[in-house]
Chains A and B, each alone.
Chain A
Amino acid sequence: MFTTIGNTDTSTTTSWKVVLPFYAYAAIAFLVACLLLLLSAGDFTGHYFHPHTLAITHIMALGWGTMMILGASHQLVPVLIESKLYSNVLAYISFASAAIGIPFLVHGFYVFDVGLHTQCGGILVIVAIISFLINLAVSMVKSKYENVHAFFIFTATLWLLTTAIVGLLLLYNFSFSVMPKNSLDYLPLHAHIGIVGWFLLLVIGVGSRLIPMFLISKYNNTRQLWWIYGLINGGLLAFVSAFLYTANKSLLTIPLLAVGTAIILFGDFCIRSYRQRIRKKVDEQMKVSLLSILMMLLPLLSLAIIITLLIFTIKENISLVLGYGFIIFFGWITAIILGMTFKTLPFIVWNKVYHHLAGKGKMPNPKDLFNNTIFKWMSIAYILGFVLFTTGILIHSIPVLQIAAALLFVTSLLYNWNVIKLLLHKPAMS
């Protein structure tokens, strides 16, 4: 079977036809998530286990974060391992099943009818992840290069698969009691395997390659990256065991410290990379991406407070947990994507439009394919909206939440404007 769906192309540049649908889908998902946020801003004063909150979280985690990462990975992994993507067909399968599965799943949460169509949505998402995992594994095995960054991405995808399988079990647990406890009790497990195992591991794996590249920095420290890899995976395994086998809340400080150390090491990696950079001028897109690295400290801080309160008061602080989730999905992950979209997509589009014209004469600069003014306004709307919404959650103020949600919706409109402008780019007058 594997011989029939492999690529015959010798290039390590993945076709734009594989990559661009993921970007387009992610942009629309972000718009939908912000629209739902605007419609249900008031729900963020209540409990986090709310149908609307669940729906928004899953659009953000799957439609926005995961789709974007899958798209970028199809482009990036072949470059990292110095060999071509094994199969475009698997990439298309991965896109199609996720693209169909995510709306089913999200709609099921929103109306809180967690029956068959929601379960089918979950199964389709798992099919998408498995296709990607196979594509990744075969590409890596066929390559002669071992690469720490590719290991990060592969391990992160295994954690993503684990997250999705746990998620599907929780879904069945609503109807059939397949697990000893309530689904709500397992929510921290599902959420953290996803956040730490998938998002954090992947962002560090990819970021440690891209950040030095965009800054044109000579800094590289593979040993430091393997330490980070060990700390995150070790911390996550410790968390899963502590969660499943003990009721001792103070044990949760061990994984928190391990993951916290990993994040601080990564921060150190970025600072060293920044100091040794050749490119002295740092553009807006890089500033937003570097800001997102600082934002990693916010969830750590709130998590530390949540765990401290758990240990001393036995009762979890609902709005803190809600704030924690919001900071991760609308803060850290969104900031990375907002910045990185415009450091990757213009180059993919440039390659698509100009590579065969390249010998003919002067070409436009890839970074001129989107509008930087729109980008700046988007960043301003985003930072204001993010800070206000977090404040609104903590002070339980519906008007503040609504104004903030409107700002985030504006952010998503401006983001889509630039993405559509890029996707529709035609050869231009230089």
Chain B
Amino acid sequence: MIPINANTKIGTLLKLHPDALETIVSISPKFTKLRNPILRKVIAARTSIAMASKLSGCNIDDFFNKLQPLGFDIDTTTIIEIEKGQDNKPAPDFMKNISADKIFQLDVRPIIETGKDPLNVIMESIKTLKQGFILKIINSFEPTPLILLLSKRGFESYTETISDELVNTYFYNNVNAFMVADNKESDHSAAWDEILKRFAGKTKTVDVRQLEMPLPMHAILEALATLPIDNALFVYHKRIPVFLLPELEEQQFSYRIKEISGAEVHLLIYKD
């Protein structure tokens, strides 16, 4: 028996049981997209049962009823991690006061038709989106994973369902300019978690919390001198080492900082 709940990702189901794909497709014709291997890989991994049921317009129980015979153990007590009832939401303030010239449109349906993941294209557009502007995504379903991803970065969103095959989602950039990318290849706007993920398994660690000034800086620079090119250095520090930052810039290192508390700071230093 494999336990599943509303927050289990579709991708997990597909991995766990070879017949899960056809079973899910039989729930709603909307899920025929999942037969496309590329789409299956990218969307299924980010979509939970709760999200899938929401965007297909069916009930979570429909999923559970169909999946139970395959040997999944259903846990219905888990709290669903997405908001319910967004369909009837009134338009938020940012939608009311925006002029048409501040809305950029991106139709991702052709990308999905060709079996590609539109996420990179969307993120590119998001990066160039100036503060106070809106990115309008045209899709055939509500991109719930994307809404969650961007809300973590401080974007407000609003979804209007025009028909079963046409859903417009508006993302409003009300965050500060560090989200705005420059023309370099590297992803400057990537936040801590993404960078951490990018270097998963390729991270060297150094702990300078017990060192007296100015030894932390020397220890970090020494560790960086022997850091393999595609690795990141994870630093445990007592404070943000402000005097190190220009030196990192000088040596063309990028860095991300995470303040845990007033007396604990983590740093990630890497080369793009």
Query: Contact residues of A with B, CB < 8 Å?
Result: 9-13, 79-80, 82, 145, 209, 212-214, 216, 218, 278-279, 281, 347, 350-351, 355-363, 365-367, 427-430
Please tell me if the beta carbons of A279 and B177 are within 8 angstroms of each other in the complex.
no
Whether the Cβ atoms of A429 and B177 lie closer than 8 Å is: yes
- Which chain A residues border B191 with CB–CB below 8 Å? 359-361
Contacts of B192 in A (CB 8 A): 359-360
Interface string of B235-257 (1 = CB under 8 A from A): 00011101101110110001011
Residues of B within 8 Å of A212, CB to CB, are 214
Question: Are B259's CB and A358's CB within 8 A?
Answer: yes
B176-A427 in contact (CB<8A): yes
Q: Is there contact, CB below 8 Å, between B257 and A9?
A: no
B197 to chain A minimum Cβ distance, whole angstroms, is: 14
**Can you report 23 A-B residue pairs in the complex whose CB atoms are below 8 A from each other?**
A12-B239, A145-B212, A209-B213, A213-B213, A213-B214, A216-B247, A278-B221, A350-B245, A357-B178, A358-B240, A360-B153, A360-B179, A360-B192, A361-B178, A361-B190, A361-B191, A362-B189, A365-B246, A427-B177, A428-B177, A429-B177, A430-B177, A430-B180
Tell me whether chain A's interface is mostly helix, strand or loop, or mixed: loop
8 Å CB contact of B250 from A82, A281, A356, A358 = A281
Q: Shortest beta-carbon distance, A367 to chain B, in Å?
A: 5
For B154, the closest partner residue in chain A by CB is A360
Q: How far is the CA of A59 from the CA of B182 in the complex (A)?
A: 46
B residues near A (Cβ < 8 Å) are 153, 176-180, 182, 188-192, 212-214, 217-218, 221, 238-240, 242-243, 245-247, 249-250, 254, 256-259, 261-263
Residues of B within 8 A of A216 (CB): 217-218, 221, 247
Which residues from chain B contact A82 at a C-beta distance below 8 Å?
212-213
Q: What residues on A are CB-neighbors of B258 within 8 Å?
A: 358-359
Task: Point out the residue from B153, B178, B242 that lies within 8 Å of A350, measured CB to CB.
Answer: B242
- Chain B residues contacting A213 (CB-CB under 8 Å) are 213-214, 217, 243
Contact A351–B178 (Cβ < 8 Å): no
Given A361-B191, A427-B176, A12 and B242 contact (CB-CB distance below 8 Å): no
Are B259's CB and A356's CB within 8 A? yes
Measured in the bound complex, the distance between the Cα atoms of B247 and A279 in whole Å is: 8
A11: B residues at CB distance < 8 A: 239, 261-263
How far apart sit A145 and B211, CA to CA, in the bound complex (Å)? Answer: 12
**With contacts A366-B245, A427-B177 known, what are 15 further pairs, Cβ within 8 A?**
A11-B263, A12-B263, A13-B239, A13-B262, A80-B213, A218-B218, A278-B221, A355-B240, A358-B257, A360-B179, A361-B178, A361-B188, A362-B254, A363-B178, A430-B188
Considering the complex, give the chain B residue whose CB is closest to the CB of A365.
B249
Which of B218, B238, B256 touches A358 (beta carbons < 8 Å)?
A: B256
Minimal beta-carbon separation of A17 from chain B (angstroms): 15
Chain A residues contacting B263 (CB-CB under 8 Å) are: 10-12
Q: Which 10 A-B pairs have the closest CB atoms?
A: A11-B262, A358-B257, A362-B188, A429-B177, A359-B192, A347-B242, A361-B178, A359-B258, A10-B263, A361-B189
B residues within 8 A CB of A355?
240, 257, 259
From B188, B212, B257, A359 is in contact (CB under 8 Å) with B257
> In whole Å, how far is B271's beta carbon from the nearest beta carbon of chain A?
14
Q: Can you name the residue of chain B whose Cβ is closest to the Cβ of A428?
A: B177
Give Cα A362–Cα B238 distance, bound, in whole angstroms.
21
Complex alpha-carbon distance, A363 and B255, angstroms: 9
Chain A residues lying within 8 Å of B179, measured Cβ to Cβ, are 360-361
- Most A CB contacts (10 A, CB to CB) among B190, B218, B257 go to B257
Task: Determine the residue in chain B with the shortest Cβ distance to A145.
Answer: B212
Residue from A351, A357, A360, A365 with most neighbouring chain B CB atoms (10 Å): A360
Q: How far is B82's CA from A20's CA once the two chains are assembled, in angstroms?
A: 45
A10 to B178: give the CA distance in the assembly, Å.
29
Return B7 CB to nearest CB of chain A, in Å.
Answer: 25
B246 touches A366 (CB 8 A): yes
The interface residues of chain B lying within 8 Å CB-to-CB of A10 are 261-263
Give the residues in chain A near B177, CB-CB below 8 Å: 427-430
Which of A80, A209, A214, A429 is the one whose CB lies under 8 Å from B180? A429
Once the chains are docked, how many angstroms separate the CA of A230 from the CA of B261?
40
Decide if B242 touches A366 in the complex (CB within 8 Å): yes
Q: How far is the CA of A216 from the CA of B218 in the complex (A)?
A: 8
Q: Whose C-beta in chain B lies nearest to the C-beta of A279?
A: B247
Q: How far is the CA of A278 from the CA of B247 in the complex (A)?
A: 10
B217 proximity list for chain A (CB < 8 A):
213, 216
A427 neighbours in B (Cβ, 8 Å): 176-178
Q: Are B178 and A362 in contact (CB under 8 A)?
A: yes
Q: What residues of B have a CB within 8 angstroms of the CB of A429 in the complex? A: 177, 180
Closest B residue, CB atoms, query A363: B178
